Chains A and B, each alone.
Chain A
Amino acid sequence: MATGERRRESAGAGVLSPAARPSGPQPSPWSRFLTYLEHRPDRVFPIPAVIVLLLTMLFPVVYTLYMSVQQWEFSALDPPKFIGWRNYVNFLTQDSRFWPSVWRTFYFTFLAVTIETVLGVAIALIFNREFLGKGLIRTIFLFPMVATPVAIALVWATIFDPNLGVLNYFLEQLNLPIVLWTSDARWVLPALAIVDIWEWTPFITLITLAGLSSLPSEPYEAARIDGASPTRVLFDLTLPMLRPTIVVAVLFRAIDALKTFDIIQVITQGGADYSSETLNIYTFQNAFNYYHLGYASSILVFFFMLVMGVSILLLRVRRAAE
């Protein structure tokens, strides 16, 4: 390999810059590097990006894998101890908080992403028409996505407050029974999903709008000539053609929703009584409240595979759609 490179280098130097050919004194390493760079930029230029990627992406994953097979407490006095698969066996078979949190993670994601997709696509179809003030409304509609999640969560926490919150005030005005949004085990995940929907529906809309603007116009002309009704155009033309775009939007949203941390941590911290403890919140508790770093890492490895699995599944759907 090394000799091969050198040969190519010198051959290249012979073609491109005869001055760099060693004649008498040896060229400095720096000028040799410059020659190589001139020659194979495709190998040299990506190096910084590759280093950053290795450090920020690969290293944490590998290190988490390493931690996940240790009994590792957050303490300077207790060195990590290798215990093999025991962490994995523990959470899979003995931990009474693990499986419920997995189920909650999926429930929350399904609820949020389904409604976001339906709403987001519907709103994109509306925004795709011409109406007065369209640009302004479109801009305003994107605000939730741009705002800071923690700030959003704090505002929603006040809205949900059972005693002072505005949501229950409206329900009372309408003579509806009040809901203990964040205390009632049946309501807390839907309530958190409402926040997620409010925040991320614009994301689906944005991607769908991009998809809509790239649709060809010929099929629509054909449909008009054939006298197709607007409903038929929507369901037999627009939506099927949009399907790959929507699948991408759902894929992004689903991965993000599975990992939701900020709004849950701020509004309920997994409460009341663990009824909103998703996998991410539970892992955080284990790592930074109970200080079981090794155990938390093993759950994270499971979580990583879970998110990967969902992504692969959705990508398959996308390929089928194309």
Chain B
Amino acid sequence: MPVQLESEILFYRMDLFQEKGIEPPATFDDLAAAAQALHAPDKRLSGIGLRGKGAAATSMFSSFLYGFGGDWLDQNKNPTLTTPEAIAAFKYYGDLARNSGPRGAENNSWPENVALFQQGSLAMFVDASVFKVNVEDPSKSQVAGKVGYAVLPKGPVAQDPASFVWGISISSQSKHKEAAWYFIQWATSKPQTLELLKRGIPVARTSTWSDPSYTAESNKQFDQVQQQSIALSKHTYNPPVVSVAEVRDAIGPVIIAAIQGKDVAAAAEKANNDVKNIIATSG
């Protein structure tokens, strides 16, 4: 049963965008232009924070891959990392992180990017909507109240921000399936999810989002972005394989090569073969 439903969204600094007279980006080109315009390393401000840390970056990269019309695998479960669409996505993502991102982006995942954004060192960052609660917490974030939210921009082919579903399942080995089911019903019930949502957890139960006691105080822009993103999303973020962790670790180096400006095609070729081997041995 799904308990939490996040989407990949763009967090941006409303104050900085106003200052420069920039509109929230609608396309990948707009995104790159905005990031470049806001990038000011001498003021310790970077245009955009993207995940670069190998395996951890693959999840956020997925929306860019889909935006360029690429995918992880084809219908016959063959990896498609060397297609022109995938290469274009890797290059776009790497160039964006290298040209308008903080130094050492290839080591950043969400803890680093959220921290940088909280300290006002990033004009934008792309990550899961669950981090709203972190950037809006005035005790930890210097930019609380200045944060705008936007649906991840449209790529050359599609606008398909990845969604992230967290679920609870009952193991077939469970000795107390009844009790487990009872717990799941409680955890996904309306009163329970309402309490979670009010504390910043993007819950999966749709009706909770329109509950008057939530909407009375909620950030309308964020709610809208969350709903739109989920409506647009056609994919979840992971390659549909059994050995997800291994496959993500195999794809990670391509993203790092792209950020470091190395030979993306060669890295993609190697990753493609590695993924093929992993799928062949463990599905």
Q: Which A residues fall within an 8 A CB radius of B?
A: 73, 76-77, 96, 161-164, 178, 180, 182-183, 268, 271-274, 285, 289-290
Interface string of B32-57 (1 = CB under 8 A from A): 00000000000010100000111000
Once the chains bind, are B54 and A163 in contact (CB under 8 Å)?
A: no
| 16 further A-B pairs in the complex, CB-CB below 8 A; given A163-B116, A273-B256 | A77-B172, A162-B102, A162-B103, A163-B104, A180-B103, A180-B104, A182-B107, A183-B103, A183-B106, A271-B53, A271-B106, A272-B53, A272-B256, A273-B54, A290-B245, A290-B249
Q: Can you name 13 A-B pairs with beta carbons within 8 Å?
A: A96-B274, A163-B44, A163-B121, A164-B116, A182-B104, A183-B104, A271-B107, A272-B52, A273-B54, A273-B106, A274-B54, A274-B253, A290-B249
Known A96-B274, A272-B53, A273-B256: A163·B107 in contact at CB below 8 Å: no
Q: Which of A77, A164, A271 contacts B54 (CB 8 A)?
A: A271
Question: Chain A contacts of B253 at CB under 8 A?
Answer: 273-274
Give the complex CA separation of A289 and B54 in angstroms.
14
Give the complex CA separation of A77 and B106 in angstroms.
37
What are the 4 closest A-B residue pairs judged by CB atoms, nearest first?
Answer: A162-B104, A183-B104, A162-B103, A273-B256
Once the chains bind, are A272 and B44 in contact (CB under 8 Å)?
A: no
Once the chains bind, are B252 and A273 in contact (CB under 8 Å)?
A: yes
Q: Is B95 an interface residue (CB 8 A)?
A: no
Give the complex CA separation of A183 and B54 in angstroms.
11
Give the complex CA separation of A76 and B243 in angstroms.
16
Question: Chain A contacts of B246 at CB under 8 A?
Answer: 289-290
Rounded to whole Å, the gap between the CB of B13 and the closest CB of chain A is 17
Q: Which of B107, B173, B274 contacts A272 (CB 8 A)?
A: B107
Smallest Cβ-Cβ distance to B46: which chain A residue: A163
Once the chains bind, are B107 and A183 in contact (CB under 8 Å)?
A: yes
Once the chains bind, are B102 and A163 in contact (CB under 8 Å)?
A: yes
Once the chains bind, are B102 and A272 in contact (CB under 8 Å)?
A: no
Q: Which B residues fall within an 8 A CB radius of A?
A: 44, 46, 52-54, 102-107, 116, 119, 121, 172-173, 243, 245-246, 249, 252-253, 256-257, 274, 282
Known A163-B116, A163-B121: A272·B249 in contact at CB below 8 Å: no
Question: Chain A contacts of B256 at CB under 8 A?
Answer: 272-273
Smallest Cβ-Cβ distance to B267: which chain A residue: A273
Rounded to whole Å, the gap between the CB of B140 and the closest CB of chain A is 15
Once the chains bind, are A285 and B54 in contact (CB under 8 Å)?
A: no
Question: Chain A contacts of B106 at CB under 8 A?
Answer: 183, 271-273
Give the complex CA separation of A183 and B105 in angstroms.
8
Interface contacts (Cβ under 8 Å), in number, total 57
Question: Chain A contacts of B116 at CB under 8 A?
Answer: 163-164
Rounded to whole Å, the gap between the CB of B173 and the closest CB of chain A is 5
Question: Chain A contacts of B53 at CB under 8 A?
Answer: 271-272
Smallest Cβ-Cβ distance to A273: which chain B residue: B256
Known A76-B173, A272-B53, A272-B54: A289·B107 in contact at CB below 8 Å: no
Rounded to whole Å, the gap between the CB of A90 and the closest CB of chain B is 9
Question: Chain B contacts of A96 at CB under 8 A?
Answer: 274
Question: Chain B contacts of A163 at CB under 8 A?
Answer: 44, 46, 102-104, 116, 121
Rounded to whole Å, the gap between the CB of B244 and the closest CB of chain A is 9
Question: Chain A contacts of B245 at CB under 8 A?
Answer: 289-290
Rounded to whole Å, the gap between the CB of B59 and the closest CB of chain A is 15
Give the complex CA separation of A73 and B274 in angstroms.
19
Rounded to whole Å, the gap between the CB of B121 and the closest CB of chain A is 6
Rounded to whole Å, the gap between the CB of B73 and the closest CB of chain A is 19
Smallest Cβ-Cβ distance to B119: which chain A residue: A164
Smallest Cβ-Cβ distance to A76: which chain B residue: B173
Rounded to whole Å, the gap between the CB of A298 and the closest CB of chain B is 15
Question: Chain B contacts of A268 at CB under 8 A?
Answer: 107
Which of A96, A163, A274, A290 counts the most chain B CB atoms within 10 A? A163
Rounded to whole Å, the gap between the CB of B248 and the closest CB of chain A is 10
Give the complex CA separation of A182 and B107 in angstroms.
7
Give the complex CA separation of A183 and B102 in angstroms.
12
Question: Chain A contacts of B54 at CB under 8 A?
Answer: 271-274
Rounded to whole Å, the gap between the CB of B118 and the closest CB of chain A is 11
Question: Chain A contacts of B121 at CB under 8 A?
Answer: 163-164
Question: Chain B contacts of A77 at CB under 8 A?
Answer: 172-173
Question: Chain B contacts of A73 at CB under 8 A?
Answer: 282
Once the chains bind, are A178 and B103 in contact (CB under 8 Å)?
A: yes
Question: Chain B contacts of A76 at CB under 8 A?
Answer: 173
Give the complex CA separation of A183 and B98 in angstroms.
13
Rounded to whole Å, the gap between the CB of B175 and the closest CB of chain A is 12
Give the complex CA separation of A182 and B54 in angstroms.
13
Once the chains bind, are B107 and A285 in contact (CB under 8 Å)?
A: no
Which of A162, A183, A268, A274 counts the most chain B CB atoms within 10 A? A183
Question: Chain B contacts of A274 at CB under 8 A?
Answer: 54, 253
Give the complex CA separation of A76 and B175 in angstroms.
14
Give the complex CA separation of A272 and B107 in angstroms.
6
Give the complex CA separation of A180 and B106 in angstroms.
10
Give the complex CA separation of A180 and B260 in angstroms.
12
Give the complex CA separation of A2 and B253 in angstroms.
65
Rounded to whole Å, the gap between the CB of A181 and the closest CB of chain B is 8
Which of A162, A272, A289, A290 counts the most chain B CB atoms within 10 A? A272
Give the complex CA separation of A271 and B253 in angstroms.
10
Give the complex CA separation of A142 and B217 in angstroms.
55
Give the complex CA separation of A49 and B19 in angstroms.
72
Question: Chain A contacts of B46 at CB under 8 A?
Answer: 163
Question: Chain B contacts of A161 at CB under 8 A?
Answer: 104
Question: Chain B contacts of A180 at CB under 8 A?
Answer: 103-104
Rounded to whole Å, the gap between the CB of B247 and the closest CB of chain A is 10
